Amino acid sequence: MDAQTRNVLRNLDRFLQSTYKTAANDAIRENRQALQRIVDYEETDYSYTQDSRQRRERIFQDVWRDEATTFYAMAAIVVAAGLVACKRIKNTNTAILERNYHLTIGSLQHQLGQDGPRWWNFLPRDELQSRIQESAFTKVSFNRLGFNSHKAKQYIMKRLQSQMMQSILANEGVDGLQARIRRLTRSSYYDARRIARTEAMRCANQGSYEAGEQAYREYGIRTRKIWVHTDTAKNPRDDHRAMNGVAAGDDGYFVLPNEERALYPLDPNLSAEQSIHCSCTFYYEVIR
């Protein structure tokens, strides 16, 4: 990944942090009175429930019933932030794919020198965008963030319910409830960041792949693909380390040690275990 692409990702990360921090602040500010009402349930007479935990569980059940509108409003704010994040991630990915497409064409032209085509039929951005592929895991993740508002609200409501129940059982008060909301939005930010980083690398590799495919399809330029393990991940995969320097087969596929096949690192056909947080890339060698 070149310096410009890394800078684009840093800017995206700052945008995601700001988006979810604003969502947390909005959820707390717009529901401040409701949060106080939730704490006030502590004053309700549940003396007939002797066990302390059972008492708090009963409080939580009543809170969840009476304040359902509040929880739904909080979830809607987080989901709205997720939709904004999804759109920004997708736009960024298009730019990264386009940049790596052009960088790879430049690399091929440099290798070919005077033997290369005198002009290149560059694919327009809309065409490249239409070719972006997403894995099944990515689609589910985008839906949970906010791309599918119904599924996203269900997912956020489930997490919100868990956070609220823990807060009430622990008798944390208003400050504790607010901290739980911030924890929820921070978790959503981490989800968005993970998707952004994984999909950025996927699109970078797909951009290179599209350039190589076009080179052969339109100009008959034969190449071989070489896997590059960058070793920048916190927990690098042994499978990917073993792939460093390995060339794709005659059919164009890399075969990983676990026998999964890929046209390029982070190919959408790879399992989530072989894709999430992967920072591997590849390059083309021209076959003369």
Confidence check: pLDDT of 2 > 80: no
pLDDT value for 17 = 96
Q: Is the dihedral of CA 125, 205, 106, 1 positive or negative?
A: positive
Tell me if the pTM is above 0.95. Answer: no
Q: Is the Cβ–Cβ distance between 1 and 281 less than 8 Å?
A: yes
Between residues 205 and 47, the one the model is more confident about: 205
pLDDT value for 140 = 87
Q: Which residues pair with 283 in a beta bridge?
A: 226
**Minimum mean pLDDT among 30-34, 86-90, 126-130: which range?**
30-34
**Residue pLDDT, tens place only, 142-153:** 888 888 888 888
Between residues 67 and 50, the one the model is more confident about: 67
Q: How far is CA 80 from the centre of its chain?
A: 16
Confidence check: pLDDT of 16 > 80: yes
pLDDT value for 48 = 47
Q: Is the dihedral of CA 40, 42, 43, 45 positive or negative?
A: positive
Confidence check: pLDDT of 277 > 70: yes
- Determine the Cα–Cα distance for residues 271 and 256; give it in Å rounded to an integer: 11
- Determine the Cα–Cα distance for residues 53 and 21; give it in Å rounded to an integer: 32
Mean pLDDT of 181-204: 93
Nearest to 42 by CA among 162, 183, 177: 177
At 271, list the tokens: 């399992």
pLDDT value for 229 = 92
> Strand, coil or helix: what is 284?
strand
Confidence of residue 52 (pLDDT cuts 50, 70, 90): low
**Residue pLDDT, tens place only, 206-255:** 999 999 999 999 999 999 999 999 876 667 888 899 999 999 999 999 99
Q: How far is CA 188 from the centre of its chain?
A: 10
Q: What are the DSSP calls for 36-48, one per residue?
A: HHHHHGGGS--TT
Confidence check: pLDDT of 47 > 70: no
135 Cβ neighbours under 8 A, 6+ residues apart:
202, 268, 269, 270, 272, 275
Confidence of residue 51 (pLDDT cuts 50, 70, 90): low
- Determine the Cα–Cα distance for residues 18 and 152; give it in Å rounded to an integer: 20
**Residue pLDDT, tens place only, 90-124:** 999 999 999 999 999 999 999 998 888 888 899 99
- Determine the Cα–Cα distance for residues 110 and 113; give it in Å rounded to an integer: 5
Confidence check: pLDDT of 189 > 80: yes
Q: Is the Cβ–Cβ distance between 111 and 286 less than 8 Å?
A: yes
